[in-house]
A and B are shown apart, each in its own frame.
Chain A
């Protein structure tokens, strides 16, 4: 890092955990909090006093504060009410419909978009990085699931902007993981599970030689690899070809609503059903959801290392629900979820035009790949032992940091060439989906389509832009309506409007239009179907800056009040000891100004005025302070050797 250059950090904004990392010539590394923890739970708690808690603290308080705790917000970002039908019954917080087809979280009447909520997590990571570097950090590469559509990508970028970050690039999580893997970064070694001697040996080939499996091979220089990324809420699979530092994504597939959360939910549903049957008690209130969620998560994690787990639930009035669940039962309950991952793998493999024999390595990423059932199925499907030596929690953030390093010009030996995960098209006459760009097309990519008018003098044309693989527009997702305005008046069918659809390296669509007969550039107004408009983002960004200022004023006031408390207390002590050195008038004046300052600190909220008053008070105590020092020095040799010692060295 050059001292003057901009710092660009890499951020993995995860469903369950988020991380921030940075890469320099020594390689990429995750930045940790004061406790040495790299993972920040993507959880927010809203206290009654308006205080927002983030991360571990919010996670700890989730059970007692369920309706004010927001987790897994990533499953909501960039989506509409209809997309979330199956999601809502499992949320402990309240979600309401927002503008257009957007959703908002309702926290005691305060409405917040998923973008704003995500921005709070991003801001926390930004501040962590700032503490680490001792200067401001304003730029980031943020990762998204490869299968995120345009709205979800835009929404993630907007969240960054609200957090005060310029998102210099949005990159796909499996691609980031491949980048980290490809340059040989593995992340921190996993700690062995408690009470068991499961030790994962990473990065030491000599020790692995005896294993004799392909799973521990070092990354091959030129190879074809599969990244299987099963996180807390999303699943991606990407197939990449590595050649001399160029990472070419051949295909990608996935499911943005498939992750560890879904495994948890099977346990939740099981417990709820059994409790209902046995005790005639319904435990499906928002208040119990958080508790059940944490319980289910613990059971799931335990079943990754143990054959069975105990579930015990105190239902009150002496009733206790108790049962044991063993691994095979859990695996039966969730078998269809694993199958959903394999059908995505099948599609990715087919789109890449490859067979298992062409694939050299299967890399596992994401915390949910710790489940034995997942590892087993992946091995079965690809007929190869997966590579498990990466830290599945950290590798995506590390890859993002490497990409940040590439973008800042600090690394020239690697280049990512990614693809767009979904086909892009427009709604044609009769409600069909007219595909313009097919899925798995390399980005950046560009298509120009001609449009014309239907009515004489028509000045604008609306285009509904879709993403998806289905034939009918209604079955695809509408990204936005593009309203082309400023078409010069001409008879119907005469204007030739060339509309350029350009997907950039972020996988985000840019649209521009030009009437070719007149050469006039049409203005394109974008009305996002599931996201925020430019104006909305700007407004929220401004509000958050204003809030930050308010917060800062509040902070400063608190600091100043503490200072007043401290200074006046100290002066009182000095007065008690050395007050006799002052004249009666001087002493009374000092006591009066002390009372005045304390009153002001209590009553006024004008930080600047208080600051000035504190300064004045400081000056007025100078005489007393000088007298006290002289007196102390005179006393020192006899009564206080520490003071004299201090004076000598100081």
Chain B
């Protein structure tokens, strides 16, 4: 038991962790847990903790992805089921659920689109999937592309398929840029936040169409190769 408690301290996050690491619970997750930690209190805290706070990062769209990845590894080294005493049921129950929360938080902040959705939810108001509005002109555009795609597939027109794919990728990336801009605006806490949130919701919904299409085109290309 004793050696276990000591080994928990082997994983340390570098000292550059930003000053937002105010929460002592989250700081403990990152730097190492004390022997005899209050597992239940820690888990209860984690269940409602802010994702940025968990990782000790400023709540912003632009995150240092390397730092994020390093911090989540450090946390896992402290709380993963493999790192806590095997025979200690309370510790293992904590480890299982705490790891699940860390994994979910990491996934949400790692991917730019999911990160934007999290920032939207964090700023209040409906989520993108609760309000399915899309930018004007998107649906006719999507339908046109779909028709073109079906024709190209039927005739086996590889050039057109490649062009459609390039177009889809370009639209996806462009929308990604717009989403990033809106998220930065959201952070500025300017006057008309509702308008920004509406625009962000629409762009996030548009993103689903674009990335689905890219994914579909990539999958079918893979199936053929």
Contacts and interface: CB of A to CB of B under 8 A. Distances in A.
Interface of A: 168, 243-244, 246, 248, 342-343, 346-347, 350, 406-409, 412, 415-417, 441-446, 502, 504-505
A343 B225 contact: yes
20 contacts: A243-B70, A246-B73, A343-B222, A346-B222, A350-B222, A415-B77, A415-B83, A416-B82, A442-B103, A442-B106, A443-B103, A444-B96, A444-B97, A444-B99, A444-B103, A446-B100, A446-B101, A502-B96, A505-B80, A505-B96
B86 A446 contact: no
Given A445-B103, A502-B100, A505-B96, A415 B218 contact: no
B76 A246 contact: yes
Given A246-B76, A445-B100, A407 B225 contact: no
B107 A407 contact: no
Max chain B C-beta neighbours (<10 A), residue from A248, A350, A444: A444
A406 B76 CA distance: 14
Nearest to B10: A412
Nearest to B74: A246
A343 B223 contact: yes
Given A409-B7, A505-B81, 11 more contacts: A168-B86, A243-B69, A243-B73, A407-B82, A407-B86, A409-B4, A412-B10, A442-B103, A442-B107, A502-B100, A505-B82
Contacts of A442: 103, 106-107
Interface in B158-213: none
Contacts of A350: 218-219, 222
Nearest to A417: B76
B104 interface: yes
Interface string B85-126: 110000000001101110110110000000000000000000
Contacts of B136: none
B3 interface: yes
A343 B73 CA distance: 31
Interface in B1-17: 3-4, 7, 10
Nearest to A438: B107
A446 B222 contact: no
Interface of B: 3-4, 7, 10, 69-70, 73, 76-77, 80-83, 85-86, 96-97, 99-101, 103-104, 106-107, 218-219, 222-223, 225
Contacts of B225: 342-343, 346
A413 B100 CA distance: 22
B73 A446 contact: no
Contacts of B7: 409, 412
B82 A446 contact: no
A505 B107 CA distance: 17
A351 B100 CA distance: 20
Nearest to B96: A444
Contacts of A342: 225
At the interface, is chain A mostly helix, strand, loop or mixed? Answer: mixed
Contacts of A505: 80-82, 96, 99
A417 B69 CA distance: 13
A417 B218 contact: no
Contacts of B3: 409
Nearest to A406: B82
Max chain B C-beta neighbours (<10 A), residue from A347, A350, A412, A415: A412
Nearest to A139: B86
Given A343-B222, A441-B103, A441-B107, A415 B10 contact: no
Nearest to B70: A243
A442 B110 CA distance: 13
Contact of B77 (A246, A407, A443): A246
A406 B3 CA distance: 13
B76 A504 contact: no
A409 B76 contact: no
A443 B76 CA distance: 11
A401 to B, nearest CB: 14
A412 B3 CA distance: 11
A581 B60 CA distance: 104
A583 B104 CA distance: 90
B76 A415 contact: yes
Contacts of B76: 246, 415, 417
7 A-B pairs with the lowest CB-CB distances in the bound complex, closest first:
A446-B100, A442-B103, A346-B222, A444-B100, A444-B99, A412-B7, A246-B73
A412 B86 CA distance: 14
Contacts of B96: 444, 502, 504-505
Contacts of A246: 73, 76-77
A441 B83 CA distance: 20
A417 B81 CA distance: 10
A168 B82 CA distance: 10
Contacts of A347: 219, 222
Nearest to A504: B96
A574 to B, nearest CB: 56
A396 B100 CA distance: 26
Max chain B C-beta neighbours (<10 A), residue from A243, A407, A417, A504: A417
B107 A409 contact: no
